[in-house]
Structure 1
Amino acid sequence: MATEQESQLSALLVPIQDKMLLVPNVTIAELINFEKPNASGDTPEWHLGQLTWREQTIPVVSFEIANGEEYRGDTANARVAIVNGITGQRELSFYAIIVQGIPHSVKLTESEIVKQDEKVGEVEMVAVQAAGEPAIIPNLDKLEKMILDFGLA
């Protein structure tokens, strides 16, 4: 049980293929129904295309492929999570990742997030147990750098 001195983090557990991402709740701007992104030429495999959201064209990426994993395609549960850019780059205010279901909100204290000794992928920072549930804290800085480096913003 958390003491009154422990501050709580409002977070989201975001389902992707075979795992959950743990992110602060301000990371996700909106969750929308899945729509197939418009293909956009010669781009990395993890770039699935572009979509228009609130009159802006934003890149859609597969977290799984960017992480060096297999992306099995869109499922009946697929949704699009619009992600707030965190690096402060004006040209990448938002981007989207395909998620597999609806994220759920959790309130966590620091003591409820326990680092796990698991190997992590290219765009993952650390594996954790968050309130007893296995999750991955993603390296969104690195993912955003990949998007910017390929001129996809």
Structure 2
Amino acid sequence: MKESAATPGDQAPVAALLLPLQGLNLVVAQAAVGEVIAAPEAEPVPGSPDWVTGMFAWRGEQLPLISLERLLGRKPAKARSRSRAVVLYGLGGFRGVDYYGIEVDGIPHPVLLRREMVEDLGEEIRQAGMSVGRAVVVGGQPGMIPDLVAIEQALSDWLVRA
């Protein structure tokens, strides 16, 4: 049987979620998402980075809740009834970061992403001395594919010091 090489257009679509922030959608693979929950009450932690909102209870564990808007140097959205948190699996294997939450400004929307739907703007987004993600356009809307491993490394570094 003859095997043929895959062409870039042959890549399988990726099941993703668009996570709304103020004026920007985060694009995250659904496989990285543990659960979408109502915005939790987070307990502030003295000495935490300003982008760490605090710790919250989820399934019997205390998880860090982060604000990517703050990490990006933006003013976070005011909490409202549609605010949510997305619990993500820790992908990088960093100590203390098995799960964590990201604040979002609304209900995430599932999307089946195909290569032609995403325009990479070729811009790495850096804040707080680290890579935060890549700027993209998804379906005509501005977005960002977050660098979850870099964010998890920063979370782990803080948790180890705390």
* TM-score normalised to structure 1 length: 0.87
Q: Tell me how far 1:22 sits from its aligned partner.
A: 0.6
Identity %: 28
Asked if 1 retains the 8 angstrom alpha-carbon contact of 2:95 and 2:156, the reply is no
The answer for the alignment partner of 1:52 in structure 2 is 57
The answer for the alignment partner of 2:107 in structure 1 is 102
User: Over residues 35-69 of structure 1, what are the superposed CA-to-partner deviations in whole Å (9 max), with x where a residue is unaligned?
Assistant: 22012222111111101101111111111112222
C-alpha separation in 2, matches of 1:19 and 1:53: 26
Change (3 A) 1:145 1:104: same
Extract unaligned runs of 5+ from structure 2: 1-7
Aligned length: 151
- Radius of gyration: which is bigger? 2
The answer for the alignment partner of 1:120 in structure 2 is 125
Extract unaligned runs of 5+ from structure 1: none
- Is structure 2 residue 150 aligned with structure 1 residue 145? no
Tell which deviates more after alignment, 103-112 or 46-55.
103-112
* TM-score normalised to structure 2 length: 0.82
The answer for the alignment partner of 1:132 in structure 2 is 140
User: Over residues 112-148 of structure 1, what are the superposed CA-to-partner deviations in whole Å (9 max), with x where a residue is unaligned?
Assistant: 2111255734253211122333211111112111111
C-alpha separation in 2, matches of 1:73 and 1:4: 41
CA RMSD between the two structures: 2.2
